[in-house]
Amino acid sequence: MIVQEFHGAVAVVTGAGSGIGHGVVTALAARGAQVVAADLDPAGLPEAPGIRTVTADVTSPGDVRRVFAAADSLGGADLLVNAAGIAVTRPLLEHTDDDWDRVLAVNLKGSFLCLREAARTMTARRRGSVVNVSSIVSIIASPTPEIAYDASKGGVSQLTRSAAAELGPHGVRVNAVAPGPVPTALYGPPAGAVARNIPLGRLGTVEDIVAPILFLCSTAAAWITGHVLVVDGGRVLR
Amino acid sequence: MRGLEGRVAVVTGGGRGIGAAVCRRLAEEGAAVAVLDLDPEPAAQVARTLPGAGAYAADAGDRAEVEDVVRRVLARHGRIDVLVPCAGVMRGAPVTEMTDQNWTEVLTSHLTGAFTAVRAVTPAMTAQGYGRIVLISSIAARGIAGHVNYGTAKAGIAGMARSLALELGPHGVTVNAVAPGFIATRMTREGAERRGRTWEEHAAQAAAGIALRRIGTPEDVAAVVAFLAGADAGYVTGQVIHVSGDP
Ligand SMILES: NC(=O)c1ccc[n+]([C@@H]2O[C@H](COP(=O)([O-])OP(=O)(O)OC[C@H]3O[C@@H](n4cnc5c(N)ncnc54)[C@H](O)[C@@H]3O)[C@@H](O)[C@H]2O)c1
Ligand SMILES: NC(=O)c1ccc[n+]([C@@H]2O[C@H](COP(=O)([O-])OP(=O)(O)OC[C@H]3O[C@@H](n4cnc5c(N)ncnc54)[C@H](O)[C@@H]3O)[C@@H](O)[C@H]2O)c1
Counting ligands in written order, the one closest to the CA of A46 is 1
CA A36 from chain centre, in angstroms, equals 14
Q: What are the DSSP calls for chain A, one per residue? A: ----TTTT-EEEEESTTSHHHHHHHHHHHHTT-EEEEEES-GGG----TTEEEEE--TT-HHHHHHHHHHHHHTT--SEEEE-------S-GGG--HHHHHHHIIIIIIHHHHHHHHHHHHHHHHT-EEEEEE--GGGTS--SS--HHHHHHHHHHHHHHHHHHHHHGGGTEEEEEEEE----SSS--PPTTHHHHT-TTSS---HHHHHHHHHHHHSGGGTT--S-EEEESTTGGG-
Q: What is the pLDDT of residue B208?
A: 98
Among chain B residues, CA nearest to A226: B247
Q: Is the pLDDT of residue A90 over 90?
A: yes
pLDDT in tens, B148-167: 999 999 999 999 999 999 99
d(CA A130, CA A176): 8
Q: B187 Cβ partners below 8 Å, 6+ apart?
A: B17, B89, B90
Q: Is the pLDDT of residue B17 over 80?
A: yes
pLDDT in tens, B189-218: 999 999 999 999 999 999 999 999 999 999
Residue closest by Cα to atom 40 of ligand 1: A85
Percentage above 70 pLDDT, chain B? 100
Region A170-180: what's the mean pLDDT? 98
pLDDT in tens, B37-51: 999 999 999 999 999
* 3-class DSSP assignment, residue B182: coil
Burial A127-165 (b: 16+ CB within 10 A, else e): ebbbbbbbbbbbbbebeebbbbbbbbbbbbbbbbbebbe
Q: Is the pLDDT of residue B187 over 80?
A: yes
Region B43-63: what's the mean pLDDT? 98
d(CA A46, CA A48): 6
Cβ neighbours around B101 below 10 Å, total = 9
Q: What is the pLDDT of residue A2?
A: 61
Q: What is the pLDDT of residue B157?
A: 98
Q: What is the pLDDT of residue B155?
A: 98
* pLDDT band (50, 70, 90) for residue A195: confident
How far is ligand 1, taken at its centre, from the CA of residue A67, in Å?
A: 17
pLDDT in tens, A55-69: 999 999 999 999 999
CA dihedral B211, B213, B218, B219 (to 10 degrees): -90
Region A141-155: what's the mean pLDDT? 96
Cβ neighbours around B5 below 10 Å, total = 10
Region B122-147: what's the mean pLDDT? 98
3-class DSSP string for A70-138: HHHHCCCCCEEEECCCCCCCCCHHHCCHHHHHHHHHHHHHHHHHHHHHHHHHHHHHCCEEEEEECCHHH
Question: Which of A33-42, A175-184, A185-194, B125-134 shows the lowest mean pLDDT across its residues?
Answer: A185-194
Q: Is the pLDDT of residue A1 over 70?
A: no
Residues 131-190 of A with CB under 8 A from B: 160-162, 164-165, 167-169, 171, 173
* pLDDT band (50, 70, 90) for residue A230: very high
Region B50-70: what's the mean pLDDT? 98
User: Which of the four CATH numbers 3.90.1300.10, 3.30.930.10, 3.40.50.2300, 3.40.50.720 does domain A10-237 have?
Assistant: 3.40.50.720
What radius of gyration, in Å, describes the C-alpha atoms of chain B?
Answer: 17
- Residues B45 and B15: beta-carbon distance below 8 Å: yes
Give the relative orientation of helices B17-28 and B218-229 as an angle to the nearest 10 degrees. Answer: 50
Q: Is the pLDDT of residue A236 over 90?
A: yes
Catalytic residue, candidates A13, A14, A95, A149: A149
Domain boundaries, chain A: 10-237
pTM of the predicted model as reported, rounded to 2 decimal places:
0.97
A149 is catalytic: yes
Ligand 1, closest atom to CA A137?
6
* Cβ < 6 A, ligand 2 pocket: B 12-13, 15-19, 37-39, 42, 59-61, 86-89, 109-110, 113, 136, 138, 180, 182-183, 185-188
* pLDDT band (50, 70, 90) for residue A189: confident
Q: Mean pLDDT over all residues of chain A?
A: 96
Region A17-33: what's the mean pLDDT? 97
Please judge whether A230 and B233 are an interchain contact, meaning their C-beta atoms are less than 8 angstroms apart: no
Region B63-89: what's the mean pLDDT? 98
d(CA A54, CA B155): 46
Q: Classify the C-alpha dihedral A202-A207-A213-A218 as positive or negative.
A: negative
Contact list in A for residue B215 (CB cut-off 8 A) is: none
